[in-house]
Structure 1
Amino acid sequence: VIGEIGCSWPLADNERKVLRASARAQRMTGAPILIHPGRDETSPLQIIEVLAEAGADLSRTIMGHLDRTVFLRDTLTKIAEAGCYMEWDLFGTENSYYTLNPKIDMPSDAKRMDDIAWISSQGYGRKVLVAHDICAKHRLEKYGGHGYYYILSHIVPRMRARGFTGEAIDDILVNNPRDSLTFVEPEA
């Protein structure tokens, strides 16, 4: 995987260079790209524009952290229409205060599932990814966090209760991750 390519908002010149280099590396290796967008609603769309201009295969690009970045369904639709995988990767983060951007309220797991159900109903269920971004010790079970099994033990039962089909859950947990992370034949 090329990434996680961290971007800020607004994009710095060097970040644009890294995005262009990522597109080139993707063409040369067939690897997917994983993006960490800046903390602004328009950041993913700006990144998509830079990647597209550089010749990236957007269908092999994962736009991460959407649950703390994108709050408008119109923006989600534009990301989906570009062909990117859309990743809600902060499952288990159930506090509304977000220290890295106090202007926004972090969504709940229920809101994450609502957004996933909605974008899936628009025909983009095969582009949905989920994770829990366990990046700090306090998120591990040993230190009081939910741990790595949280999605399977807590979210999947809630998805079933909300009407997600077994096929949709398999896509989100098995098929989409497999497809998004598979290398393809590089360009000649």
Structure 2
Amino acid sequence: MPPAMTVTGPVEASALGHVLPHEHVFINLLAEYRAEGLLNDQSRMAEELALFRRCGGGTLVELTPAELTAGAAPDPLGLYRKIPNPTPGPPGSRAAANVHELRALSAETGVNIVMGTGHYRDPYLDKNWFDQTSVDEIAEGIVRDLTDGVAGTGVRAGIIGEIGADRWYVSAAEERSFRAAARAHNRTGVPITTHAARWPVGTAQLDILVSEGVDPRRVIIGHCDGVQIPEYHRDLARRGAYVQFDLIRGADDWDTASRVRLVVGMVRDGLIDHVLLSHDVCTVKQLKTAGGWGYTFVRTRFAELLVEAGLEPDEIEHILVENPRRALTGA
């Protein structure tokens, strides 16, 4: 298998271990979550990653778009600490210091971190820039992050995303972002992962990517468990895409049981190869150090519940290790 690109360099597929394919380490979501939407404490996040490592975790895919990082996101009131960015890139380019912090955390904790690139969704997109910039120019910036590294760092992204749609449709700016991501993928072979929350918009997202020549087997449709429509999940999987249940946080018993049913249903329908599991940690209250489950719930309690629901341990290992390894490397 080809290696996966992490913030510390290429890592052989066999060394990735248990992979969380959709998470955040540093993120600024203050525009939507006033009190909880800021993860920017490096020491605290080091402890969260160490807890993941101690429960058997190996790799975390960090999908914070630059529009949501502290070095690039709007901060009119100065609510979060400043991260200097001496070599700013175009809109949607990560701050160099943010990337250096990710690399330092990976080295400190031993957790492999695969970093994403690309653009997020409305209303975070810079509409004027998208209106004035061609799809190929946008794609060129994504390719640079994947092949040369984020400006001022030499650290290469290893996945395209999360790119997304805010509503039940893909807006004009979002479509331009998706087409740019597809063209960057076609030049690099790097997988694409999406944000498709609350509505079954993953179908439209996949249609756009396929129209640009992307193989559905290289596409991860995210937040599928936010849309509790099993037929939607099966349709995506049968087209070849990965169906990612990534809002697994142990919020309450009903919430967790519904996700157990979704996973078991996919497995029983012969679609185990298309299932990915993660938490999408993005607020303070979700951290284990704040009383939540952090990055550990999938590997621990959720895996136990899958066994109780009838899955075999080797089936769970297939979902947690083999599927994300294949999604990241294409092999």
- Please give the range of the TM-score, normalised by the shorter of the 2 chains: 0.7 to 0.9
Q: Given the alignment, which residue of 267, 274, 282 partners 1:135?
A: 282
Shift of 1:94: 2.2
- Asked which structure has the greater CA Rg, the reply is 2
- Are 2:188 and 1:29 aligned? yes
Letter matched to residue 22 of structure 1: A
Q: Given the alignment, which residue of 11, 14, 29 partners 2:173?
A: 14
Q: Which residue of 2 aligns with 1:58?
A: 216
Q: Which residue of 1 aligns with 2:240?
A: 83
Shift of 1:73: 2.1
Shift of 1:166: 1.6
Q: Which residue of 2 aligns with 1:111?
A: 258
Q: Which residue of 2 aligns with 1:48?
A: 206
User: In 1, distance between residues paired with 2:300 and 2:266?
Assistant: 23
TM-score (ref. length: structure 1): 0.86
Q: Given the alignment, which residue of 153, 171, 183 partners 2:318?
A: 171
Q: Given the alignment, which residue of 63, 66, 71 partners 2:228?
A: 71
Letter matched to residue 63 of structure 1: I
TM-score (ref. length: structure 2): 0.50
Gaps of 5+ in 2: 1-158
User: In 1, distance between residues paired with 2:270 and 2:306?
Assistant: 18
Percent identity over paired residues: 31
What CA deviation, in whole Å up to 9, does each residue of 1:73-118 have, x standing for no partner?
Answer: 221121111111111011115259xxxxxxxxxx611111111111
User: In 2, distance between residues paired with 1:76 and 1:60?
Assistant: 16
Letter matched to residue 15 of structure 1: E
User: In 2, distance between residues paired with 1:158 and 1:173?
Assistant: 14
More helix by share: 1
CA-atom RMSD, angstroms?
1.7
Contact 2:197 2:223 in 1 (8 A): no
Contact 2:197 2:222 in 1 (8 A): no
Q: Given the alignment, which residue of 163, 173, 189 partners 1:5?
A: 163
More strand by share: 2
